Amino acid sequence: MLAVILSPSSSARVFTSATFINLTTFFLLRPFSPSLCASRLQVRVMADSASVPFKKIQIQRDDTTFDAYVVGKEDAPGIVVLQEWWGVDFEIKNHAVKISQLDPGFKALIPDLYRGKVGLDVAEAQHLMEGLDWQGAVKDIRASVNWLKANGSQKVGVTGFCMGGALSIASSVLVPEIDAVVAFYGVPSSELADPAQAKAPVQAHFGELDDFVGFSDVTAAKALDEKLKASGIPCEVHIYPGNAHAFMNRSKEGIERGKSMGMPDGDEAAVELAWSRFKSWMTRYLSA
């Protein structure tokens, strides 16, 4: 059952060319903040040496090997956690740790889609995102799902944020082994995947004030709603009033980075509500 809820308090790519332009100008045309440059060293340290209990593994697929980071109970349901355009940095690791600690517990795995690279500012993040092999990223996701299923997780979900949110929805179409998806503020382009062909249950979250037109604004969220209705799968689309893009990023460093780019403060109540819905969805569909 699909519900759109106004919550209280070249090669195929995820983004079209227009979306790339919109994402870039959205950030680069914001007033400059010295804190962005001042925070670069801090962000590098956080990205390279986050003090979280991850196990680094390597996953093979086709003729390539990529690193991944795992945290959580060995025999718990698995969740693949997909990065924003920044790469595998402190914030996506924070999300994975949070997921692993949700009752009754999950095993979270972050595949390194950028192969060790991390964007420290908007220009670097855009460069990395534009250079991503999107079909290859979907293959990485599928290999990650299958690794979890081969290593103690009977069922596996996928979640992601921004770029990772779009890839999560694409995976619900393109990766048949997935058992559930929760996507945050991102919709794939029609060239990559048509959500009307989704095969796994999808829950999606968007901020009402998100102005990434065609990618994660309210219009894009409502269009996703219609596509998911057509798929016939269980699905929900939640829209959070008063919240913008990336409202789930609530670490001290993430909040500072958002402010340096002119992003409004997020709503803690909305974040907790989103996590509660995430937990309910994944528990429902990943229970053995």
The share of the chain scoring above pLDDT 70, in percent, equals: 82
pLDDT of the residue at 36: 40
Average pLDDT over residues 61-90: 96
Residue 51's pLDDT is what?
Answer: 59
Q: Is the pLDDT of residue 52 over 90?
A: no
Is the pLDDT at 37 greater than 50? The verdict is no
In percent, the amount of the chain with pLDDT more than 90 equals 74
Who's near 283: CB < 8 A, 6+ residues apart?
104
Q: Which residues of 104-125 are buried (b: 16+ CB within 10 A; e: fewer)?
A: eebbbbbbbbbeebbbbbbebb
- Work out the mean pLDDT of the chain and round it to a whole number: 86
The CA–CA distances, whole Å, from 161 to 37, 62, 123, 152, 280 equal: 24, 26, 19, 25, 18
Please report the DSSP string for 139-168 in residue order: HHHHHHHHHHHHTT-SSEEEEEETHHHHHH
Structural domain of 214: 4-286
Q: How many domains does the chain have?
A: 1
C-alpha 82/C-alpha 116 separation (Å) is 14
What integer pLDDT is reported at residue 7 of this predicted model?
Answer: 39
| The predicted structure's pLDDT at residue 142 | 98
pLDDT of 179 higher than 90: yes
Residue 187 has pLDDT above 90, yes or no: yes
What is the structure's pLDDT at 260? 82
When pLDDT is cut at 50, 70 and 90, the band that residue 288 belongs to is: low
Which pLDDT does position 252 carry in this prediction? 84
Predicted local confidence at residue 21, as pLDDT: 41
Confidence of residue 216 (pLDDT cuts 50, 70, 90): very high
At 258 the pLDDT is 82
How confident is the model at residue 9, as a pLDDT? 36
Cα 229 from chain centre: 22
Is 49 or 148 the better-scoring residue by pLDDT? Answer: 148
Identify the residue with better confidence: 166 or 23.
166
In this prediction, residue 34 carries a pLDDT of: 37
User: Domain holding 271: CATH number?
Assistant: 3.40.50.1820
91 vs 265: which has the higher pLDDT? 91
Range with the poorest average pLDDT among 25-29, 48-52, 211-215 = 25-29
pLDDT exceeds cutoff 80 at 23:
no
